[in-house]
């Protein structure tokens, strides 16, 4: 049973639409992360949060935004989707370094 | 700043043979953790194995072992008795314990041949 959930699993959407990718975890982890990954390529950190009301931009510049109103919830929003946003988005959470990150199953976004 | 290097974009191995995936890292922090993840074509990231910087012995988890050479700053993953299901992307990662944020290498695509 997954402890971190991402929805939707797949999404095809038209250019200009607003979308929100959901990520929720049940482990009580303070730290949460969003990565963007093209197929077969490396992971790029785009956002992270160390707790409620804390959000930071990652290494890769992204037009997306995030919020952290509750510990368990870390949604990512694109106000106006473009074809360049087509990618996989992976959410992760972390309690202690010993166990590393727990990843969600990812959202594969296609913008047409 | 920490950095992870995986120099093998792709690797091939015959079924039932062993394979080593290379990973080197760079950090000035004496306390860190090293991780390997497997990513099959379905896209999810699966945690495989962990090695702490102060661990005296190499980590092992079933068919996975981590060849940790601290002085050389390398943390190679060894997969014994490869199976067709091992075909996937493999990512090496490191976190410094003071902030717990993880950095990933570029990945190695492993293909197991029947």
Q: Which residues of B touch A94 (CB under 8 A)?
A: 100, 102
Q: Give dist(CA B104, CA A89) in Å, integer.
A: 15
Percent of chain B exceeding pLDDT 90 equals 83
Measured on CA atoms in the order B85, B86, B87, B90, is the torsion positive or negative?
A: positive
What residues of chain A, 40 to 59, have a C-beta less than 8 Å from chain B? 40-43, 48
pLDDT < 70: residue spans in chain A: 1-2, 96-99
Contacts of A31 in chain B (CB under 8 A): 100-101
Q: How far is A83 from chain B (nearest CA, A)?
A: 20
- Is residue A100 within 8 Å of B52, Cβ to Cβ? no
A30-55 pLDDT, tens digit each: 999 999 999 888 899 999 999 999 99
Q: Tell me: the pLDDT tens digits for B27-70?
A: 988 999 999 999 999 899 999 999 999 999 999 999 999 999 99
3-state class (DSSP) for residue A30: coil
- d(C-alpha B51, C-alpha A77), whole Å: 35
């Amino acid at each position: 049973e997954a402890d971190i959930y991402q929805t939707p699993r797949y999404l095809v959407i038209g250019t200009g639409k607003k979308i929100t990718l959901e990520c929720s975890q049940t482990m009580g982890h303070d730290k949460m992360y969003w990565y963007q990954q093209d197929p077969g390529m490396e992971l790029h950190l785009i956002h992270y949060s160390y707790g409620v009301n804390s959000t930071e931009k990652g290494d890769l510049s992204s037009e997306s935004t995030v919020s952290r109103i509750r510990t368990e919830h870390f949604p990512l929003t694109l106000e106006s989707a473009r074809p360049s946003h087509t990618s996989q988005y992976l959410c992760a959470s972390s309690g202690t370094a010993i166990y590393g990150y727990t990843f969600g199953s990812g959202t594969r976004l296609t913008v047409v | 700043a920490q950095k992870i290097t995986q120099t093998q974009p792709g690797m091939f191995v015959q079924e039932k043979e062993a394979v080593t995936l290379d990973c080197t890292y760079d950090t000035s922090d004496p306390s860190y953790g090293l991780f390997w993840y497997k990513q099959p074509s379905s896209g999810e990231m699966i945690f495989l194995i962990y090695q702490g910087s102060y661990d005296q012995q190499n980590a092992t988890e079933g068919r996975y072992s981590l060849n940790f050479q601290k002085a050389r700053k390398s943390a190679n993953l060894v997969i014994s008795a490869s199976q067709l299901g091992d075909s996937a992307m493999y990512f090496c990662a490191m976190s410094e314990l003071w902030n717990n944020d993880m950095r990933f290498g570029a990945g190695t695509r492993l293909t197991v041949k029947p």
